[in-house]
Amino acid sequence: MIRTLADLDRARADARRMVARRALAGAATSMVPIPGVDIAADVGLLASLLPAISKRFDLDHDSIAAMPPHASQRALVLAAGLGNSLIGRFVTRRLAAAMLKRVGVRLAAGSAAKVVPILGQGIAAGIGFAALRAAGNAHIDDCYTTAKALIEDRGADVEA
């Protein structure tokens, strides 16, 4: 459970390592010379990665449901204020695909690059890695900001 800023910093470091590993796995699938396989794999990876990140920050659906009502509402309001509709929700493949659309131009370019043998696959792998890492790190930043505000709120509650 995250109770302090030190815990929060550890959670962020763990989540960044998790994103790097999954982005590398996504890059490996980009080496398959069939256009579209990489995008499908990225959606699947992201659909499992985003809830894992949220869970690491105690902001997954179950953790938020277990919070006192004022804290859970505050978490969801903070997340919405950041434009993050994934914190505290079940992440479906559809939501993961919507998240990837933010970096969709890169993904489409990578998939199209596959028509050039070998070099295109390498380009697609690099683009897929960058896109998955960008999406994962954006979610980490939103989770960090939300969790930090909740920690600060708890501190204010304790002091009052």
Question: pLDDT tens digits for the chain (160 residues)?
Answer: 888 999 999 999 999 999 999 999 888 887 776 767 777 787 888 888 989 999 999 998 888 889 899 888 888 888 888 777 677 666 666 666 666 665 554 555 555 555 556 666 777 778 778 888 988 999 999 999 999 999 998 875 444 4
**Predicted local distance difference test score (pLDDT) of residue 71:** 87
Residue 158 has a pLDDT of 44
pLDDT score recorded for residue 83: 74
Residues 11, 52, 101: CA angle, nearest 5 degrees? 110
* Burial state string for 129-148 with b = 16 or more CB within 10 A and e = fewer than 16: bbbbbbbbbbbbebbbbbbb
pLDDT value at residue 10: 97
Give the predicted TM-score (pTM) of the model. Answer: 0.78
Neighbours of 10 (CB within 10 A): 13
The pLDDT, as a whole number, for residue 93 is: 62
d(CA 93, CA 59): 19
Q: Cα 109 vs. chain centroid, distance in angstroms?
A: 21
**Residues shown for the chain:** 160
Q: Are 56 and 144 in contact (CB under 8 A)?
A: no
- Which two three-digit tokens encode residue 154? 């708890």
**30-58 burial: b if 16+ Cβ within 10 Å, else e:** beeeebebbbebbbebbbebbbbbbbbbb
Q: Given this model, what pLDDT does residue 156 score?
A: 55
